[in-house]
Structure 1
Amino acid sequence: MKHHMHRFRTRAVTTALALMFAANTAWAVDPFQVRDIRIEGLQRVEPGTVFASLPFRVGDTYSDEQGSAAIRSLFGLGLFTDVRIQVSGDVLVVVVEERPTVADVEFVGTKEFDKDALKKSMRDVGLTEGRPFDKALADRAEQELKRQYINRSLYGAEVVTTVTPIERNRVNLTFTITEGDPAKIKEIRIVGNKAFSESTLRNLFELDTGGWLSWYTKSDRYSRAKLNADIETLRSYYLTRGYLEFRVETTQVAISPDKQDIAITLNITEGERYVVSSVRLDGNYLGKDDEFKSLVTIKPGEAYNADRVAETTKAFRDNFGNFGFAFANVEARPEIDRSNNSVALLLVAEPSRRAYVRRINVVGNTRTRDEVIRREFRQFESSWYDGNKIRLSRDRVDRLGYFKEVNMETQEVPGIADQVDLQVGVEEKPTGSLQLGAGFSSAEKLALSFGIKQENAFGSGNYLGLDINTSKFNRTIVLNTVDPYFTTDGVSLSVDLFHRNSRPYNDQGGNYQLETTGAGLRFGVPFSEIDTVYFGGTVERTTIKPGTNIPAAYLAYGDKFGYTSYSFPLSIGWARDNRDSTLVPTTGRMQKLNAELGVAGDTRYLRSSYQYQQYIPLNKQYTLAFNGELGYGKGLSGRPFPVFKNFYSGGLGSVRGFEQGTLGPRDVTGSVIGGTKKVTLNAELLTPFPGAGNDRTLRMFGFVDVGNVYGEEQKFELSDMRASVGIGLSWISPVGPLRLAIANPVRKFAGDRIQKLQFQIGTSF
């Protein structure tokens, strides 16, 4: 501490002397009856706090032992730097000097941490505004700051504390921090491996010796927690390949004298590789042995696999839970035969007792209302414990997309053997997203789109979205809101308000416009946990405003049916979605089928579309994704399909490498007019980004896109399909998922408008 602490050291000496001579002070006074007690020196401490700590009251007989006890008791409060007891006749005067209080805590020189986070860590050690200050508290604060920096591999960080006394016996604390450079991992060694190469084992680790993306991943910064996680990954790698007796003997972490380089050495013993010889069941399986046997994924003749053993025991416990046995105990007991390097597994089960769910408690939702979470539950209070319904409830809450984590824990009810409570813990995450899009072309130069979406508006579970496109040729504003529980049975209500103003994609320019304004209402009825049927209606007004380079098809339609059309289409659709995530899916399938039927007004038509997505996990790092879309439109009652309802293709979301919406039929002027039939096929292989390890927020993908749009009189021809291949970058950025694609059209025709570089925030495929 600096010289500002000198006065506090002097007070500490005074305190020690007071304790040493307290007995002498009391010894010099003969016992007497106390007529009055006065306290002097208080500034902020309440007198009652002092009186409550004194071992005597007015009217008691005062002695030297009581005086010593009083001084010790007052010092024990931690509020005073000096305590004295003076005797004036039969009056006791307690003289105290309060410790200074902390007025402000400031940090200078910190870059690695946000100051608010450091202040929180200071509160955890008891150092905060308004609290009494002492040197021991400052020392603890320094140690806590150093510990925080060590956790970030900043071993050379230095902390200097400055104490500045101010008025009213207060102090300002300033922690001046010299962070230095972080220590980097220079070497990772694995000693004792025989079955697998050292490089193979090191590639399993999140920690590494650095690469060109280490500034982003920080994978070369040592962390004890990360090392422990890597050790568990290493252990799992061996245990899933038959090495039942694998162990890590020692873990050595050495740091260089300048605290800049770290070397990690793991000494391991692999043991022998064991093969499963047999799997047997023992215990009480509720008379359903065959049903439980069907859940066993461990196969005799294969190497011992700890993951499959864990999967099997978990499947057993889950199956017991389906019958209401919340406390089932399932244990896998290996019987090792070292002479033959084989192991026999005995699965022992004890279902214990059947249970009811007494109460469901929801914690962690600081923003989202309780009812938004509880209405997703399929396990109810005062009902039999059902493992399937509990897992389904957890998945439904997770699929809301409002939370980083959703955990469900079963807690026994004290004193009641057949009841449990469910503790549902959630961790909130931002549910608003900003969507930005941009593209470059010779026609539009720079086209921008903007959108704001709030998935959980005001914690109500309702969706609210605004989309704006400021393109030179396509201007759009759309307001959309969805109430997912318009009724208590889960029927959703969606309301749309929109205004669109489009112009042709034409290098020579044009000033005609296609203007559409309308409003829509749609209901969604859940028919199963993953199936929803939608139906609704829309009111639209579409105006064709003639101008230069207007497509002949638009003029022909306007001359025959009018340049302003009122439409009242009805819509019906179906959606099925069991993907594991809507943001970064790795497995599962999504399907959507929609049909729009113009039944009144100035138009008669059918417009339908179907979308299919499939995600296939190849392993922990690689995912194969497929997307297919079909569109079909047809005019009814002797009328043609409205040209302003045509499908468009090209660009992000369809066939990358071509300008947005430029595929398909064109007018003699070269203007794109879309078509009544649309086909899009996409395939992607998602891989780790080089240097980013297994970080799933930053990934690369290779893709193949095929598709086109066809006019009403055109036949579907494979020879007319456009195709492109390319690579891209997927990043879960702070403002939403960003996808950047560099595409090379491998099948194109004269007149096609190429755009090799495209990116968008908030889209997929």
Structure 2
Amino acid sequence: MISFFFISIFSEKIRSISIEGNLYLPEETIKKILKIKIGGNIDKVTFNERKNLLISFYKSKGFLDIDIERYEMFSDSNRADIFIKINEGFLTLVTDVKIYGNKVLDESEILSILGLKKNTPLNIEKIYQKQINIIDRYASLGYIYSSVDYELVPQENRYRVALYVNIDEGERTYIKDITFDKINLKATKKIFEMETKSYIGRVYVPEDIYYLQQKIYSSNLFNSLNFKVEGIDEKKESLTVYFYGEEKKKNWVSSALLYQFPNKLKISTGIGNDNLFNNSEKISLENSASSSFVSDPFMMFDKWFYTILRYKVPYLFSSFYTFNSNVGFNIESNPFYLKRDFVLNAGLSRVFNLFSFSNNWSYRLSTIDTFFEGQSYRYEKVTTNSTNLILYFDSRDEVIFPMKGVFSMAKFDFAGGFLKGYNNFLRFVYENSNYYSYKEQIVNMMRVRFGIILPYGLSYERGISINEQFTLGGLTSVRGVNQDSIGPLNDLGTRSGNFMINLNYELRVKAYKSFGMVYFFDTGLLKRYFDFKINIKDFVLSGGIGVFYNTMFGTLRFDVAKPFNVVEDMKYYFSIGNPF
């Protein structure tokens, strides 16, 4: 702010620019480097600071003897005249590159890393940056003691040089053992043994150990986890990796109370153990309930309750496959109907670096009773037997407040057929979220969701049960409209469908420390069945703003949203965590 105030007062409008002596660089290029143009504004401090930019640019092009003989700015009545005189000197070329001492990497690969060809302008800064790239390449092969030195040898004159690359590859290093703090990390002994046993005896690659650290830490069993490597200072060939840190308490209890304007109150509780039998097995019982005490004429006094028991075995039969299972019960009620679901799931999953997959088998019993004039009527009681395959890709730098990266998910469901049950359908859901950051203050986030359900067999004529269909609208899809209020009406008077498109854009800006603002636009479409008649007018479009505060437990947000093309009141959302 002070800098802007200073420039506003002391900057002057450029009246003329005179540049002499430039043979290699065009005048327009020099103006772009210095960010000057006739009619533009500049102050003397900024003008003098930019001189080094011009010198650095010339040197990067091989003009090592560049001399700015005159670099002046004269002021008169808030008008500035700029005079620049350049002595470019001679262009220094690399006429030859010779590599010595390389046995592991061939000459062509080293030349490719250097990015040099014969008669290339000499850029000293660039070739020393490439020195690090060569060392990193050797380290990725286990040669962590390698060193690279340069020698510039003049040829017919000092402006024609040969680059001698002298490499000492050193000895290849191996992992002799991986051990851990037996006092502070006692409860996670089995986890370390499972995760590290395949590394012992392998070539020591620093990136592999960092990945191992992240993988073990992601088990969510540690407050902190670090490592050190014994033997590097002595340049030993066999190294010992030693992990140390602090374990979390394995038993936990949680609770939360949330209010969603204008009429909903939600409470959540949970209890669990994240390291059952000291083998990272997890068990938890989670409950959520919500109630709307004042509402619109239709969804009046609706209530919802959900409980789920989860059990997870990370190292099934001493493998890297994870067994996941859960049993859940859900109740949703209002004056017009009562829905009850019993769900049983079990499956396997595995992680491969940034990729992961899971396969689950599910049984679901759904019962819906409707109410009319004080009487209860059974609308449906159906079962859904299904299996799915879910593929994930996650390159986000972090989960709580991602700044960059991609998250993708593709889910394929098969229900009915040889699995029996009432519902017979194929379902495909795809989600892709992209995060782009700018100077660690601004994050552009874009998400695409797409879903389609294709009934077959008996379900092709009679349709599938309502609870298996898509819903759209609300905090996590299209903000500004009522929860699940987009799409065609079903027999219960609620809205659901078999074809869904959802697009979201958010601009998250950190304003001060952990505080920030959010600007967002949402749109979505929900249809009863898939067809190619998609009209842009059928999409619900909304937008809004919000504020957030990042904590170590998650992001606290307050958002305000309103649709642009449907009649709805302003919606207010208070949430923990980002919607997506």
Common topology (TM > 0.5): yes
User: Would you say 1:677 and 2:499 are equivalent positions?
Assistant: yes
| 620 and 734 in structure 1: CA distance in 2 versus 1, 3 angstrom threshold | closer
User: Would you say 1:516 and 2:516 are equivalent positions?
Assistant: no
1:719 matched residue in structure 2: 537
Aligned partners of 1:549 and 1:537: how far apart in 2? 40
Aligned partners of 2:332 and 2:478: how far apart in 1? 21
Select the residue among 360, 363, 379 that pairs with 1:536: 360
In structure 1, what residue type is equivalent to 2:430?
A: Y
Deviations 1:255-297 (A, max 9, x none): xxxxxxxxxxxxxxxxxxxx99869675533342332343458
2:14 matched residue in structure 1: none
| 593 and 522 in structure 1: CA distance in 2 versus 1, 3 angstrom threshold | same
> Unaligned stretches of 5+ in structure 1?
1-186, 189-196, 198-237, 245-274, 505-509
Select the residue among 613, 618, 622 that pairs with 2:442: 622
The SS at the match of 1:601 is coil
Contact kept? 2:272, 2:285, Cα under 8 Å: no
User: Would you say 1:744 and 2:562 are equivalent positions?
Assistant: yes
**What is the deviation of 1:378?**
8.2
Correspondences of 1:337-736 after superposition (within 5 Å): 349-363=167-181, 366=185, 369-377=188-196, 380-387=199-206, 389-403=208-222, 406-412=225-231, 417-426=236-245, 434=254, 436=256, 438-441=258-261, 445-452=263-270, 456-457=274-275, 460-472=279-291, 473=302, 474-503=304-333, 510-526=335-351, 528-548=352-372, 563-599=380-416, 600-639=420-459, 640-666=463-489, 671-689=493-511, 691-692=512-513, 697-712=514-529, 716-736=534-554
Deviations 1:203-257 (A, max 9, x none): xxxxxxxxxxxxxxxxxxxxxxxxxxxxxxxxxxx99x9599xxxxxxxxxxxxx
Aligned partners of 1:285 and 1:634: how far apart in 2? 60
Contact kept? 1:494, 1:522, Cα under 8 Å: yes
In structure 1, what residue type is equivalent to 2:501?
A: V
**What is the deviation of 1:498?**
0.8
Identical-pair percentage:
17
The TM-score, its normalising length taken from structure 2, stands at 0.69
Aligned partners of 1:373 and 1:572: how far apart in 2? 29
In structure 2, what residue type is equivalent to 1:572?
A: L
| 293 and 353 in structure 1: CA distance in 2 versus 1, 3 angstrom threshold | same
**Bigger-Rg structure (1/2):** 1
The SS at the match of 1:719 is helix
Aligned partners of 1:631 and 1:682: how far apart in 2? 15
In structure 1, what residue type is equivalent to 2:324?
A: S
| 485 and 763 in structure 1: CA distance in 2 versus 1, 3 angstrom threshold | farther
Deviations 1:670-709 (A, max 9, x none): x4232212211112233222x32xxxx5443322222132
**What is the deviation of 1:321?**
2.4
1:234 matched residue in structure 2: none
Contact kept? 2:486, 2:495, Cα under 8 Å: no
In structure 2, what residue type is equivalent to 1:657?
A: G
Aligned partners of 1:673 and 1:726: how far apart in 2? 24
| 721 and 323 in structure 1: CA distance in 2 versus 1, 3 angstrom threshold | same
Aligned partners of 2:560 and 2:121: how far apart in 1? 48
Contact kept? 1:641, 1:676, Cα under 8 Å: no
Please report the RMSD computed on the Cα atoms of aligned residues, expressed in angstroms: 4.5
| 595 and 668 in structure 1: CA distance in 2 versus 1, 3 angstrom threshold | closer
Aligned length: 474
In structure 2, what residue type is equivalent to 1:757?
A: Y
**What is the deviation of 1:399?**
4.2
| 437 and 294 in structure 1: CA distance in 2 versus 1, 3 angstrom threshold | farther
Aligned partners of 1:649 and 1:276: how far apart in 2? 65
2:571 matched residue in structure 1: 756
Contact kept? 2:147, 2:168, Cα under 8 Å: yes
The SS at the match of 2:361 is strand
User: Would you say 1:284 and 2:101 are equivalent positions?
Assistant: yes
Aligned partners of 1:580 and 1:283: how far apart in 2? 39
Aligned partners of 1:613 and 1:446: how far apart in 2? 29
The SS at the match of 1:520 is strand
2:147 matched residue in structure 1: 329
In structure 2, what residue type is equivalent to 1:761?
A: I
Aligned partners of 1:428 and 1:730: how far apart in 2? 30
Aligned partners of 1:372 and 1:609: how far apart in 2? 33
The TM-score, its normalising length taken from structure 1, stands at 0.53
| 702 and 413 in structure 1: CA distance in 2 versus 1, 3 angstrom threshold | closer
Contact kept? 1:359, 1:420, Cα under 8 Å: yes
Aligned partners of 1:430 and 1:290: how far apart in 2? 53
Contact kept? 1:435, 1:735, Cα under 8 Å: no
Contact kept? 1:413, 1:421, Cα under 8 Å: no
**What is the deviation of 1:513?**
0.8
> Unaligned stretches of 5+ in structure 2?
4-10, 12-51, 60-90, 292-301
**What is the deviation of 1:544?**
0.8
The SS at the match of 1:385 is coil
In structure 2, what residue type is equivalent to 1:672?
A: T
| 298 and 517 in structure 1: CA distance in 2 versus 1, 3 angstrom threshold | farther
Contact kept? 1:521, 1:536, Cα under 8 Å: yes
Deviations 1:365-411 (A, max 9, x none): 54761332453448622233244533443443354455566544433
**What is the deviation of 1:413?**
7.3
In structure 2, what residue type is equivalent to 1:701?
A: V
Contact kept? 1:298, 1:309, Cα under 8 Å: no
Aligned partners of 1:500 and 1:436: how far apart in 2? 19
The SS at the match of 1:726 is strand
The SS at the match of 1:397 is helix
Aligned partners of 1:647 and 1:498: how far apart in 2? 19
Aligned partners of 1:346 and 1:548: how far apart in 2? 90
Contact kept? 2:261, 2:572, Cα under 8 Å: no
In structure 1, what residue type is equivalent to 2:455?
A: G
1:110 matched residue in structure 2: none
**What is the deviation of 1:359?**
1.4
**What is the deviation of 1:634?**
2.9
Aligned partners of 1:373 and 1:295: how far apart in 2? 37
The SS at the match of 2:209 is helix
Contact kept? 1:659, 1:755, Cα under 8 Å: no
Higher strand share: 2
Aligned partners of 2:275 and 2:245: how far apart in 1? 18
In structure 1, what residue type is equivalent to 2:483?
A: Q
